[in-house]
Structure 1
Amino acid sequence: MDRRLRHLALLRCFDAAARNQSYSIAAQELSITQAAVSQQIRSLEENLQVKLFVREGRVMRLTKQGITLSSSVAKAFGELSLGFDRIQVEPQEGVLTVTASPSFCSRWLVPRLWKLSALFPDVHVRALASAQYEDVRHSDIDVAIRQGEMQVDNVHQETLLLDPVFPICSPRVFQDEQLTSPEKINQCWLVEAIGAGRWGFSWKDWFKLAGVPLDSQCNNWMEVTTWEMGINAVLSGHGVFLTSGCMAKDLIESGALVKPFDIQIEPGLKFSLLYDQESPRIARIKVFTDWLKAELQV
């Protein structure tokens, strides 16, 4: 073992002084005297044979070597804290932080969280909408629900849902355009999510599946950045939108939107579930993920 690791107690004092740039504030934090802090820093400097601080007025400034050591010590103590967190398992009750794409969060997850609260009133979910993946191992995020499949190491990842993609429209558009056959969609205003073609969910893909030529001369197009924006567009009577089933299921069941044809792109949109199996909140995570999977089957 590196003999310099014998100075862990001195490093704790150094870390407090480096963060606060003050021996007196470090002393208050550690519940020791300022003289004791000064003595421990001096002892560490003598053992390492480097100068770690220089005084500038009332402020203790880190030297170049001190800055380097401070960064390493902060990381090391951070890893120790993480290790302590991992072995101190929290109870089932408490706060759970979940992140999902903006559309999935607002259209599917948040409207159903009351059901989880009814079953587990002591589990409180913080739902965060984000288009980017957040690290579930080194952040406050406990569970991530992401579109597609992520390339993440040392994290539990499973397919949560394979969701068919199909056209939807308002009842008024359905009646006015007399959408009795797939060919009739060629006369409609087509709404599409940006990037849908990369996933195989574009109107071109759907027309090909339906065996109908896409008449680009007749179509008017609108692109939107999220599934939710597309759904809002057709709710207002604006054309026909290709959507993932879970995004529009409740609106179709209520009659607010219509699924004019059974032709759908499958397996469709993929959602992945990610979490840290070694999380201290694993009991809470298990409650939420079990409920999530069951709710998606309803």
Structure 2
Amino acid sequence: MAGLRRKLPPLTGMTVFEAAARLGSFTRAAAELGVTQAAVSRQIHLLEEAFGFPLFRRLHRRIELTEKGRLLSSATTSAFNLIADTVSDITKDEASDELAISATVAFSHFWLLPKISAFSRTYPQVKLRIITQDKSTDIESDDIDLAIRYGNGMWPDGQAEFLFDDEIFPVCSPEYLREIGEISTLAELVQYPLIANDTGDPTWTGWNEWLAAFSVQGPKRSTGLRCSFYTEAIYAALNGQGIALGWKRLVEDLLNQNRLVRLTDAAISTRNGYFVVLPRRQKKKEHAELLVRWLRTSSGAS
């Protein structure tokens, strides 16, 4: 052990070096560590004196790792991550089997929450924490055990397993359908308020794309309500404010309860699908596999 200690550089200096190399700045490293920039510079200088070679090139208003600095940075990051993961494993409350699940507002609200009680009844020992947000999350750094996402399955922060795809068709409330009467052709849809939701997600299907799939031109000027979120669009449809696009997996319960009705048999299949995404680096919790199997069974995935 004494021999190992002689080979290792001072850990204080290595902590400072890891932050400076990762952030590419002595100033940002000082802010993260809660010390002065001068203290960071001194620790790096001491390391370089001990090694006998520079770790950074000091350029005009920026720093740059030397080749040896890059090698040391890679090894330091890997070692610190291993230590952090091990400490997390050995200090966690062994009695807690809490699983943190990330999902979008719409998926959580319309699909997950109505069904998750069945999982809890089957596995009462597993505690669940549902993190609902539409902004992108990084499951490696946000302490998430698994995420349910819609897309093409290609995410750098996790390993994706396909759950199901979807189909999209127009829906409205039964009361609204009685008010407007049956729709005999898709071209008639544009005569009525089409409820839409704003999204920057290129994988999301809106009215123009849906209508174009059937060679129907969208309305030149929409008279329908525009919402910020898909959940708002569905609630607007429930309240008789027009016609929304129903994603079958999300509105299935509302259709079964006759709170929404489907206006036509016409539908388009989604280009992408829903996936459960597990972190790559973290050791998977035992009960995460239970939840993944339950999700696949509940979704009808093989």
- Report if TM-score (shorter chain) is over 0.5: yes
How far apart, CA to CA, are the structure 2 residues paired with 1:253 and 1:140?
Answer: 36
How far apart, CA to CA, are the structure 2 residues paired with 1:185 and 1:197?
Answer: 24
Aligned to 1:148: 151
Aligned to 1:127: 130
Aligned to 1:208: 212
- Paired positions, count: 252
Q: Which of 241, 255, 270 is 2:258 aligned to? A: 255
* Segment of structure 1 superposing worse, 248-257 or 150-159: 150-159
Q: 1:169-208 residue pairs with structure 2 within 5 A?
A: 169-181=172-184, 182-195=186-199, 198-199=202-203, 201-208=205-212
Aligned to 1:6: 6
How far apart, CA to CA, are the structure 2 residues paired with 1:239 and 1:196?
Answer: 23
Aligned to 1:110: 113
How far apart, CA to CA, are the structure 1 residues paired with 2:83 and 2:200?
Answer: 44
SS of equivalent to 1:186? helix
SS of equivalent to 1:128? strand
Superposition RMSD in Å: 3.8
* Segment of structure 1 superposing worse, 272-281 or 245-254: 272-281
Q: Which of 141, 146, 161 is 2:164 aligned to? A: 161
How far apart, CA to CA, are the structure 2 residues paired with 1:213 and 1:159?
Answer: 33
Offset from partner CA, 1:81-105 (integer Å, 9 cap, x none) = 2146579999897100010111111
SS of equivalent to 2:143? coil
Gaps of 5+ in 2: 16-34, 48-72
User: Structure 2: which amino acid aligns with 1:291?
Assistant: W
User: Structure 2: which amino acid aligns with 1:203?
Assistant: W
How far apart, CA to CA, are the structure 2 residues paired with 1:172 and 1:164?
Answer: 24
1:142–1:261: structure 2 CA closer, same or farther, 3 Å change rule?
A: same
Q: Report the TM-score, using the length of structure 1 for normalisation.
A: 0.70
Aligned to 2:39: 63
Contact 1:155 1:276 in 2 (8 A): yes
Offset from partner CA, 1:121-163 (integer Å, 9 cap, x none) = 1111100012233222333111011221364336211332211
Q: CA deviation at 1:223?
A: 2.1
Gaps of 5+ in 1: 16-59
Contact 1:133 1:144 in 2 (8 A): no
Aligned to 1:57: none
Higher-Rg member (1/2): 1
How far apart, CA to CA, are the structure 1 residues paired with 2:208 and 2:14?
Answer: 63
Contact 1:86 1:278 in 2 (8 A): no
Q: Report the TM-score, using the length of structure 2 for normalisation.
A: 0.69
